[in-house]
Amino acid sequence: MNFPQIAQQVIDKLGGKENIATAAHCATRLRIVLNDESKVDKEGIDNIEGVKGQFAVAGQYQIIFGSGTVNKVHAELTKLLGIGDVSKAEVAEAASGNQNLLQRLVKGLADIFVPIIPAIVAGGLLMGIHSMLTAKGFFVDELSVIDMHPGLADLVDFINTIANAPFVFLPVLLGFSATRKFGGNPFLGAALGMLLVHPALADGWNYALTLAQGKIQYWNVFGLEIEKVGYQGTVIPTLVSAWVLATLEKTFRKFVPSYLDNLITPLFSLFIAGFLAFTVIGPIGREAGSLIALGLTWLYDTLGFVGGAIFGAFYAPIVITGMHQTFIAVETQLLAEMANTGGTFIFPIAAMSNIAQGAACLGVAVALKDPKVRGLAVPSGISALLGITEPAMFGVNLRYRQAFFAAMIGSGLASAFIAFFNVKAIALGAAGFLGIPSVKPDSLAMYSIGMVISFVVAFTLSVIFVKRAQAKA
């Protein structure tokens, strides 16, 4: 491949050097911020050697080249543009000016939650392992692994302790990440998170029971009674409190003399934010977060397979808009309140959608005889089956829209099936064939059948729909 030539073609089809503000790349895509998106020659980009798809999202124009190729194209591109190397974060920052309020909100949530996902995934998967080891009948009828091997009891308990840690101290993780995102000192944010789960406070998990028993203790501050209750596993109170903390910190720095800044600013920022967290933000946020989680769970459980079908069918279109990033916050809340919610229903539905996109993409490979299309569709389809859908969705299925519709149908039917059997996950992970360890042990069989339904329906319909469309053309 002639990479200098490819890079020049990319520049030309994007409207020339003057239309490109900045550019970076991820594992598979060029990420470019344009001054005027209307100048893009989309058909011309499709015809460039190595291009596997293109789409615009969150103020960025992204061109899919695939692993390895994108690095070389980007290197030549930066040489021709003379803009030097920039990070994805810098590109995202530059793109923010092209985003509306909703897009900025979605991006903000993603920026907060994405860094802490590894901790949540690790804890969730260990929780799944704990469930498998303690569940009766999972390996042997009416017996758990602990029943058969009592000597493993302490090891299993140790696993459970590690699994719970990210959720018990979730406000610490969120406080750090959110405060950094809002422009404050992340370590002050972590301190605020620690305050919300301080050991001297009553256990937030059992708030309703403690309240019903009349065992809630209070601080009496100038006649104001403040509940001594923690906020373990909460999301909204921590996010709002972190925003208040960062805002206070930035405000104080504007007028506090520099020689007093390190003394006054953190002292008053943390004190005021902490006071507001326990008096206003926390009580309201606790109820709001719980109501959102329980409301979605109730809606899912009430509508049953109908709700599952609707959510599953439209999950991929939601991904196109970027709104799926907001689900991270909801899933975190659902997992944190697992005793009440039973886990998250969003992850299994996301898996059904991803598998359907992969299957539909492979269906395009079967339906069409074009070697270039097959060369793109096969690896993209396999990637989607494993949880990475961008190449399949943007590079193939949206181009051959019949395949995208087939995927929506397959996902909807599979999601209806797993919703009927109330399939839920107890961890986040790779939403696809590799998502099995994240699913509740008693839901594995139905989850597996759902994957088969999603794949078979989406693949079959994709082949039929695409062939029919090609015949008409």
Name the residue ranges covered by the structural domains of the chain.
3-98, 169-291, 304-472
Q: List, for residues 263-306, the tens digit of each pLDDT value.
A: 899 999 999 999 999 998 888 877 776 676 667 677 777 788 88
Q: What percent of the chain has pLDDT over 70?
A: 86
Active site residues: 26
Q: List, for residues 376-403, the tens digit of each pLDDT value.
A: 788 888 878 887 776 788 778 888 889 9
Q: Residue 403 and residue 357: Cα distance in Å, rounded?
A: 8
Q: What is the reported pLDDT for 321?
A: 59
- When mean pLDDT is compared across 153-167, 208-222, 241-255, 287-301, the lowest value belongs to 287-301
Specify the residue for token string 């699994």: 163
Q: What are phi and psi of 157, to 5 degrees?
A: -65, -40
Rg (CA), the chain: 25
pTM: 0.61
Structure tokens at 335: 């997992």
CATH for 3-98 is 3.30.1360.60
Q: Residue 108 and residue 111: Cα distance in Å, rounded?
A: 5
Which pLDDT band holds residue 193 (cuts at 50, 70, 90)? very high
